[in-house]
Structure 1
Amino acid sequence: MNDKKLQPGTPIDLFMILISKKMRYVFLFVLLFMWINSSYKKAAKKAVISSLFSLIINRLIKSVYFKPRPFMKRRIGILIPSKTDSSFPSKHTLLVFSISTSVFLYERFIGSIMWGLSMLTGFSRIWLGHHYPIDIIGSAFIGSFVSILTDKTFRFLKSKDLA
């Protein structure tokens, strides 16, 4: 199926593998720090909730829609093993954008850095041959939208004294 399967060679390949595999730990560390720090706990709570909703949306979309991953449809090499489920949406991208947008809505500086890391994560998924650019763009939109909707819902409930 693939001509040059699983052969990382260049430093950029290795960097993209590192980003794709390990960036989730950076996001978990930031969430843990925010959860422990009482002034950021509300933002961390919203980020976790929006991530859970994003995962549900991911499952729903993948249960009704299948789009072959780039390495399944074309003769391109992949740098690390991948599932053969639907290319859209990208779970990695959904989650990092969901978290970074939630953080951005609360703390612009940290959120901006996390948004940059989210874009790098999405790009790494394309570089590895696991997703198409439109998968990443759509997943970033969904993850961000879910976070904004979660934030708006919390604000609405708070204004009605329900939260």
Structure 2
Amino acid sequence: MNYELFKSIHNLSGHSQVLDNFMVFITNNAIYMFALALLILWIFGGKTIKRAVLYAGGTGLIALVVNVLIAQIYYEPRPFVTHHVQTLIPHVADSSFPSDHSTGAFTIAIAMWFRCKNIGIPMFILALLTGFSRIWAGLHYPFDVVGSLIVAVVVSYVIVKLSRLFDPLINWIISTYDSIFGKKNRSNKSSRT
């Protein structure tokens, strides 16, 4: 069933250069788009947004560590290793389950959604597109992406439940940042007046 689902999505590739290029762009660059979004939110956001950014980034890193542990326990060959699949981009033949790109994208989006829904929702749409693009490009099975979503939900939920443990560190990072960079901004504003 997993392979049949994979074929139904991957077989859409190769018919439109525009769509293929779009999917390759997403599969290669979505993680950088998430990183850029977090950086912009950190720079221009208030304390609440900064907290959401730190939690989203930290939760994403923890989820990727969970992926590494899963890959050590369970090895799933990639579709192009097991079957005759023409990938849109080259990739090493490491474990397919779960998808690291999808896990990172889903986890950042879900962690952000827990704290700031209006930002988390568009991020989640981009995460769905990221997972879909990984299948389209021939790099992952659909269940790899579903596995990534499950890892993202579980890790994000656990971190939310344990946030009281992390809050002192998060608050310290924000206050340290504000004490270093906030004073410069205040002194620049006061020198202009």
User: TM-score, length-normalised on structure 2?
Assistant: 0.74
Which of 135, 152, 159 is the aligned partner of 2:144? 135
1:80 corresponding residue in structure 2? 89
**Alignment partner for residue 33 of structure 1, among 36, 40, 64?**
40
AA of the residue aligned to 2:31? R
Greater gyration radius: 2
Given that residues 17 and 124 in structure 1 are in contact (C-alpha distance below 8 angstroms), is that contact kept between their aligned partners in structure 2? yes
Distance 1:134 1:28, change over 3 A: same
Say if 2:12 is the partner of 1:12. no
Which moved further from structure 2: 61-70 or 87-96? 61-70
Aligned to 1:23: 30
1:138-160 C-alpha deviation (Å, 9 max, x unpaired):
111111221121112104766xx
- Offset at residue 34 of structure 1 (A): 2.4
1:61 aligns with 2:70: yes
Q: Give yes or no for the alignment of 1:146 onto 2:155.
A: yes
Unmatched 5+ residue regions in structure 2?
1-13, 173-193
* % identity of equivalent residues: 38
Give 1 or 2: higher helix fraction.
Answer: 2
Gaps of 5+ in 1: 1-6
Aligned length in residues: 153
SS of 1:77's partner is coil
Residues 14 and 8 from structure 1, CA distance in 2 versus in 1: closer, same or farther, beyond 3 angstroms? farther
| CA deviation string 1:19-48 (max 9, x = no partner) | 001111210111112222233011111112
